[in-house]
Amino acid sequence: YNWGKAEMVDNLRELGIKVVVVKGPKSIADVKENVKLIAKTLGEEDKGNLMIAKMDDKLAEIKEKVDNIKPEERKKLVLISLMTSYGGKGCTFDDICQYAGVINGVSNAGLHNGQFLTKEMLVAINPDLLIMPVYNDHNTFDIEKYNKEFLDDPALQTLNAVKEKRFFYPREGYIYNSSQDIVFGVQEVARAAYGELFSQPENCHISVAEIN
């Protein structure tokens, strides 16, 4: 991705290794463009198109269920991320929320990705649901302590999500995904908001490896 270190790419190319740089996606459409570019580079355009078709099938399956959720039943949520400026307008999570039929409280409040969400802003947003972080950095970070201190903060006790204890601990491999599997991130967010209607197993993956 173009958010990586340019010198690493240069070093690999100097070694004679072919490197394709794709843009860090800000939307599901960007992910599809990256799939097309990689497939074209590998001379596998048909497989790239098939992969995108599989993504679209999954999104259509989710949309059919989302369309049955009434506007007044749409949940407003906030992603509490260890990347404290992540989640506003202009990132994949915001796009995921649109496909999942939820209101991204951070984006709805006018914040763009890269802007920090203050406690005062969070109180003003007053989400129905908080998606909490689960990453423990290979057991070197006490995520349970982090979450408890966050949720016990006196300044946040007026939040609907806190009063009603509506917290969701996601499979973050789905939520923070920049590959074709981002579509399962859409379903994971929908599951957070609307429950088992959007249940899915662990380790879902879109692949065309079996295609000759």
Check whether 211 has a pLDDT greater than 60.
no
In angstroms, the CA 183 to CA 175 distance is 9
Written as one letter, the residue type at 106 is: V
Percent of the chain surpassing pLDDT 70: 96
Written as one letter, the residue type at 147 is: N
Considering only CA atoms, which of 140, 132, 141 is closest in space to residue 159?
A: 132
In angstroms, the CA 39 to CA 154 distance is 51
- Mean pLDDT of the chain, nearest integer: 94
Element (H, E) at 76: strand 76-79
What's the pLDDT tens digit per position in 158-206? 999 999 999 999 999 999 999 999 999 999 999 999 999 999 999 999 9
- Helices 92-100 and 45-66: crossing angle, nearest 10°? 50
Written as one letter, the residue type at 142 is: D
pTM of the model: 0.92
In angstroms, the CA 158 to CA 180 distance is 38
* Mean pLDDT of the 12-26 span: 88
The CATH homologous superfamily to which domain 1-212 belongs is Nitrogenase molybdenum iron protein domain (3.40.50.1980)
Structural tokens at position 194: 């609307």
Check whether 212 has a pLDDT greater than 60.
no
